[in-house]
Chains A and B, each alone.
Chain A
């Protein structure tokens, strides 16, 4: 429960806004400086005919870019996204989507490490003990999550055990209506996880909602030694949140739901309070990424607190600049709180206007 007064919170929110504006100026200077920016944004500025370094002085000014089109992230050459100022660094490329067609790519050097080190600060040590080993029961292959969770484990002094899991294959099976095959594949993943849990002393894990359910059908995680579960990757409803805490995990295992993706990083959840009625409230890692909730029909308009709209992401790191990207999600806008003095998002779910075309039920 927050002990901050409204005045305290107001001051914190203002300080956060000022920090964000300063961060925006720093990032715009970096990405649009010919010495440090990436070819994509430098070319973009040349074609746009205006210099963001002169015209963008605050977060609000990023509206001048319009909405970022994620198709820009598909295909090569991926080096067009590598900032010149970081060109000497080893580059990772992570993909998102791609069950059919060309996936979206994001190049990274350290962002996944920084994001997950920051996230690590939000994990309670008694449930994610330092030095403990982890199970990464999530997507493998060209996914950021795979390396990010491994880094999280290493950052906390542990080792991460992983499984083979190709979510693109699962999506293909679901699209073909081969539900039984998808179930078998899921069991194949669960079998790998069970083998790890039985063979090693694992205390922490990452998994997705569906895999958590499937795993808990086979094993009592508390008896298996698990103390904390970090969960994400797909939609989580309030009912799932309750079900996970009350029935799948029980009172002795900490449940950390997260909202994230390759483009944003990781939004952490606010500790649940009874008045939340199991709503899952996430706060983005401001100033590295900002989440806003915009009107369904006018993406330049931020909706009021408690109102429903579409999630809009802005990513602002030295490695990646993505202004005003409309996510395929909707949610309610959540007010700042003491721990996170900036806007959050409540009960994120697939964008209802896309629902017929989105196959989520991946892992």
Chain B
């Protein structure tokens, strides 16, 4: 069986303890990964400063150029994988095998990651808002005659990664260009993408010594977050809550992304159906930027019925189908548990209209796999327990609200697409502190602009600004 080693500052290490990820259809072991014991991680983290010093030896321009090369290697080249090598197509099939994502979705995520690497200069300009990225090398500069200085908040960034979809890896990938070594804990069934990004960077000239790759237990993940200067955590509500009080950790929990329709937008909802379908179902509903609830001041029932009719067309297909729109769950029990959870809350007038259109439940067996087919829940009020939930499959609630309820009723929202020309509502949305990214106009919640970071700014996370004064001759 294929074996993935731990990478201890780039050096492969085969652990005695291993864990296997299974193929989503056969349930047979597909890949084995060395598991890092917590003490080994702690021991390695004592050397973070050495990795940081290595990256400080490069200019930002050099690192941006390497990211550009890495983009091409990630997308097109055969790269090392444990003791063997992996072609791009083998990568697609491997990610699909252990996560269930159809090939077309893996390729889409692959393109997203490659896009970030290729656009690193734009990304950094967006993150830093600096007129000149050379300031990242000197640590000082000026904007319109005003002195500016900043410093790294830690020697490395620890990242606890998820297994749901590879696209999230684009969020941490720019850290290298920001001269921050990475200590990665891959998701237990999505071991592939972080490994491949590391290999692409290394082939592009980034020293392997600035990368740590530690498949490990929950406890090992805790050591990574505790032991690195800055951290990033992808996880569920419980994981996010456990670290919510630690300012060193940027938390990526459920997104609760939303579309709101008010005034003219609510009246003309039919023309936004495609946008709504894409926002809900793109990437099989696995992303935090997938829309999980739609809030309208118009006829919620009519909108929900139309959306249900469209989403009910989504059917399981073969993994290599270029039109695949829904992914099976790697663990059938999880599908059944999620569906039972939704069903248990379908009371007080809430109804799954998609199931009604389909004439069948949302758990479907096809070609030996278990799927969660889309659900459109029409809920009777904004207070209903299903009004604002996220389940990791194409699930959306449709909530009819009064105009004065918006936007306060939305709660924490990673991405909010507002379909209205109501300028006063725009102002209220702009002032709302709970919205991570605001799209005014018909923009899918899934559309990401990399110079417009959502859910935290990586530069602000990794660097801090300081007050700075110097006599002119000392700063040239």
Bound: A313/B17 CA distance, A? 27
Bound state CA distance, A213 and B40, in angstroms? 9
Instruction: Provide the residues of chain B in CB contact with A277, threshold 8 Å.
Output: 16
Minimum CB–CB distance from B12 to chain A (whole Å) comes to 15
Interface of B is mostly: helix
Contact B35 A239 (CB under 8 A): yes
Q: Once the chains are docked, how many angstroms separate the CA of A278 from the CA of B242? A: 34
Interface status of B454 (Cβ within 8 A of chain A):
no
Inter-chain contacts of B16 with A (CB < 8 A):
237-239, 241-242, 277-278
Count CB-based A-B contacts (< 8 Å).
39
Chain A residues contacting B15 (CB-CB under 8 Å) are 239
Q: Which residues between 289 and 315 of chain A lie within 8 Å of chain B, taking CB atoms?
A: none
Contact mask for chain B residues 29-56; partner A; CB cutoff 8 A; 1 contact, 0 none: 0000001011110110010000000000
Among A242, A243, A361, the most chain B Cβ lie within 10 Å of the Cβ of A243
Instruction: Give the Cβ gap from A163 to chain B, nearest Cβ, in Å.
Output: 20
Within 8 A of A (CB), among B441-457: none
Instruction: Please judge, given known A-B contacts A177-B242, A179-B222, whether A217 and B17 are in contact too, CB under 8 Å.
Output: no
- Expressed in whole angstroms, the Cα–Cα distance for A247 and B42 within the complex equals 12
Q: Which of B202-230 contact A (CB under 8 A)?
A: 219, 222, 226
- Whether B37 and A243, one on each chain, are in contact in the complex, defined by CB atoms closer than 8 angstroms, is yes
B40 / chain A contacts, CB cutoff of 8 Å: 239, 243, 247
Query: In the complex, which of the residues A177, A240, A248, A278 has the most CB atoms of chain B within 10 Å of its own CB atom?
Result: A240
Docked-complex contact A237 and B222, CB < 8 angstroms: no
Contacts of A210 in B (CB 8 A): 39
Which of the listed residues A209, A239, A277 has the most CB atoms from chain B within 10 Å of its own CB? A239
B366 smallest CB distance to A (angstroms): 33
Tell whether, in the assembled complex, residue A239 and residue B43 are in contact, meaning their CB atoms are under 8 Å apart. no
| Cα(A294)–Cα(B219), bound, Å | 29
Interface string of A234-257 (1 = CB under 8 A from B): 000111111100011000000000
Chain B, Cβ-Cβ closest to A238 = B16
For chain B, residues 11 to 29, give those with C-beta under 8 angstroms from any C-beta of chain A: 15-17
Whether A248 and B39, one on each chain, are in contact in the complex, defined by CB atoms closer than 8 angstroms, is yes
CB distance from A243 to the nearest CB of B (A): 5
Are B39 and A240 within 8 A (Cβ)?
yes
- How far apart sit A217 and B43, CA to CA, in the bound complex (Å)? 7
A237 to B38 Cα, complex, angstroms: 11
Give CA–CA (A64, B35) in the complex, Å: 43
| A243–B39 CA distance with the chains assembled, in angstroms | 8
CA distance A361 to B222 in the complex (A): 13
Contacting pair B39 A213 (CB below 8 A): yes
**Which of B16, B43, B226, B242 has the largest count of A CB atoms less than 10 A from its CB?**
B16
Give Cα A239 to B220, complex, Å. 13
Query: Using an 8 Å CB-CB cutoff, how does the interface string of A43-57 with B read, 1 for contact, 0 for none?
Result: 000000000000000
The docked-state distance in angstroms from the alpha carbon of A240 to that of B220 is 13
Number of interface residues of B (CB under 8 A): 15
* Bound-state Cα–Cα, A297 to B333, Å: 24
Residue pair A213, B17 in contact (C-beta under 8 Å) = no
In the assembly, what is the distance between CA of A361 and CA of B17, in Å? 18
Q: Which of B17, B35, B226 has the most CB of A within 10 A?
A: B17
Q: Which A residues lie within 8 Å of B46 (CB)?
A: 217
Q: How large is the interface on A (under 10, 10 to 19, 20 to 34, 35 or more residues)?
A: 20 to 34
Chain A, 211-237, CB within 8 A of any chain B CB: 213, 216-217, 237
When chains A and B are docked, how far (Å) is the Cα of A238 from the Cα of B35?
Answer: 11
B47 to chain A, nearest CB (A): 12
Minimum CB–CB distance from B188 to chain A (whole Å) comes to 16
Assuming the contacts A177-B242, A179-B222, asked whether A217 and B42 have C-beta atoms less than 8 A apart, the reply is yes
Nearest neighbor of A241 in chain B, beta-carbon distance? B16
> Which residues of chain A are near B219, meaning CB under 8 Å?
361
Q: Which of A188-222 contact B (CB under 8 A)?
A: 209-210, 213, 216-217
Q: Give Cα distance in the complex from A209 to B42, angstroms.
A: 14
CB-CB nearest in chain A for B36: A239
- Which residues on A sit within 8 Å (CB–CB) of B17? 237-239
Closest to A247 in B: B43
Closest A residue by C-beta to B17: A239
Decide: A239 near B42, CB < 8 A? Known: A277-B16, A278-B16.
no
- A177–B244 CA distance with the chains assembled, in angstroms: 13
A179 to B244 CA separation, bound complex (whole angstroms): 14
Which chain B residue lies CB-closest to A210?
Answer: B39
Distance in Å: Cβ of B40 to nearest Cβ of chain A: 5
Residues on A with beta carbons closer than 8 Å to the beta carbon of B38: 213
Give the distance in Å from the alpha carbon of A213 to the alpha carbon of B227 in the complex: 14
Q: Chain A nearest CB: distance from B149 CB in Å?
A: 31
Q: Which residue of A lies closest to B246 (CB)?
A: A180
Partner of B37, one of A183, A237, A361: A237
Q: Write the A101-121 contact mask toward B (1 if CB under 8 angstroms, else 0).
A: 000000000000000000000
Q: Give Cα A237 to B220, complex, Å.
A: 14
Interface centre among B39, B222, B242 (most CB of A within 10 A): B39
Report the separation of the CA atoms of residues A249 and B35 in the bound assembly, to the nearest whole angstrom: 21
Q: In the docked arrangement, what's the CA distance between A116 and B43, Å?
A: 32
From residue B176, how far is it (CB to closest CB) to chain A in Å? 27
Contacting residues of chain A (148-179) with chain B, CB-CB under 8 angstroms: 177, 179
**B37 touching A239, Cβ below 8 Å:** yes
Docked pose: A247 CA to B242 CA in angstroms: 31
A232 smallest CB distance to B (angstroms): 16
Please, which residue of chain A has its CB at the minimum distance from the CB of B219? A361
CB distance from A208 to the nearest CB of B (A): 12
Within 71-123 of A, Cβ neighbours of B (below 8 Å) are at none
* A241 contacts across to B, CB distance below 8 A: 16
When chains A and B are docked, how far (Å) is the Cα of A168 from the Cα of B219?
A: 20
A241 to B38, CA, bound (A): 13
Per-residue interface assignment for chain A, residues 321 to 363, with 1 indicating a CB less than 8 Å from any chain B CB and 0 otherwise: 0000000000000000000000000000000000000000100
Q: Which residues of B contact A217 (CB under 8 A)?
A: 42-43, 46
Q: Which residue of A lies closest to B241 (CB)?
A: A177
CB nearest neighbor in A for B15 = A239
- When C-beta atoms are compared, the residue in chain A nearest to B44 turns out to be A247
User: What is the bound-complex CA distance between A240 and B42, given in angstroms?
Assistant: 13
Report how far A183 CA is from B223 CA in the complex, Å. Answer: 11
Tell me the bound Cα distance from A361 to B37 in angstroms.
Answer: 13
A interface footprint on B233-253 (CB within 8 Å = 1, 0 otherwise): 000000000100000000000
Q: How far is the CA of A240 from the CA of B17 in the complex (A)?
A: 9
5 A–B contacts from the bound complex (CB under 8 Å): A177-B242, A238-B17, A241-B16, A278-B16, A361-B219
Closest 3 CB pairs of A and B: A213-B39, A239-B17, A238-B16
Q: Which residues of A contact B (CB under 8 A)?
A: 177, 179, 183, 209-210, 213, 216-217, 237-243, 247-248, 277-278, 361
Residues of B within 8 A of A (CB): 15-17, 35, 37-40, 42-43, 46, 219, 222, 226, 242
Further contacts, 4 of them, CB under 8 A, given A240-B37, A247-B43: A217-B43, A237-B16, A239-B37, A240-B39
